[in-house]
Amino acid sequence: MIINHPILGPRDAQEFVYLGDASLMNRPDGMSDGIEAFHDYLYNRDNPAGAHRELWYHEQGDRSWLVVTRNTVTHEILKVELARDVASKAGRGK
Partner 1 sequence: MADTLHALTPLGRPDPVSRDIGPYRIVERFDVALASVACRRGRHKDFAKAAKGMVPLPDPAHSAQGAPYSSFWVAPDMWFVEAPFATHEDIASELKQLFGDSASVTEQTDGWVRFDLQAHDLAPLLERLCNVDFPQVADGFASRTLIEHIGCYLIRRGPGEGTLYGPRSSAKSLLHVLETAAASVI
Partner 2 sequence: MTQVNRIAGGQIDRATTFRFTFDGLPYTGHPGDTLASALLANGVRLMGRSFKYHRPRGPLSAGSEEPNALVQLRTGARQEPNSRATVAELFDGLTASSQNAWPSLRFDAMALNDRLSTFFTAGFYYKTFMWPAAFWEKVYEPMIRRAAGLGRLTREEDPDEYDKGFLHCDLLVIGAGPAGLMAALTAGRAGARVILADEDFRMGGRLNAETFEVGGQPGADWAAAAVSELAAIDNVRLMKRTTVIGAFDHGIYGAVERVSDHLPVPLPGKPRQTLWRIYSRRAILAGGATERPIAFENNDRPGIMLAGSLRAYANRWAVTVGDRVAIFINNDDGLRSATDLQAKGVDVVAVIDARADGPLLPDIRHLKGAEVIDTRGRLGLTSITICQSNGRIETIRASALGVSGGWNPNVNISSHHRSRPVWDEAIQSFIPGHDGPPGLSAAGAAAGALSTHGALATGQAQAIAALADLGRTARAELLPEAEDAPVSITPKWYVAGGKGRAWIDPQNDVTVKDVKLAHQENFTSVEHLKRYTTLGMATDQGKTANVLGLAIMAGLTGRTIPETGTTIYRPPYTPVAMGTLAGRSRGRAFKPTRLTPSHAWAEEQGAVFVEVGQWLRTQWIPRPGEVHWRDSVDREVLATRKSVGICDVTTLGKIDIQGTDAGAFLDRVYANTFSTLAVGKCRYGLMLREDGMVFDDGTTARLGAHEYVMTTTTANAVTVFRHLEFCRQVLWPDMDVQLISTTEAWAQYSVAGPNARRLLERIVDQDISDAAFPYMAAGNVTVGGLRARLFRISFSGELAYEIAVPARYGDALIRRLVEEGRAFDAVVYGTEALGVMRVEKGHVAGNELNGQSTALNMGLGKMVSKKKDSIGMVLSGREGMVDPDGYRLVGVRPVSPEGKLTAGSHFLEIGAAAVVANDGGWLTSKVYSPHLGSDIALGYLKAGDRKIGQRMRAVNLLAGTDTEVEIVSPHFFDPEGERLRG
> For binding to partner 1 (CB under 8 A), which residues are involved?
7-9, 12, 14-15, 59-64, 82, 84
Partner in contact with 17, chosen from partner 1, partner 2, none, beta carbon below 5 to 8 Å by kind? partner 2
Nearer Cβ to partner 2 (69/82): 82
Partner in contact with 61, chosen from partner 1, partner 2, none, beta carbon below 5 to 8 Å by kind? partner 1
Element (H, E) at 3: strand 2-5
Q: What is the 3-state secondary structure (H, E, C) of 40-92?
A: HHHHCCCCCCCEEEEEEECCCCCCCEEEEEEECCCCCEEEEEEHHHHHHHCCC
- CB 25 → partner 2: shortest distance, Å? 5
Distance CA 80, CA 70 (A): 9
Residue 15 interacting with partner 2 (CB under 8 A): no
Residue 80 interacting with partner 2 (CB under 8 A): no
- Give every CB contact of residue 41 below 8 A, 6+ residues apart in sequence: 23, 24, 26, 27, 28
Candidate list 21, 23, 69, 77; residue touching partner 2; CB under 8 A = 77
Residue 24 interacting with partner 2 (CB under 8 A): yes
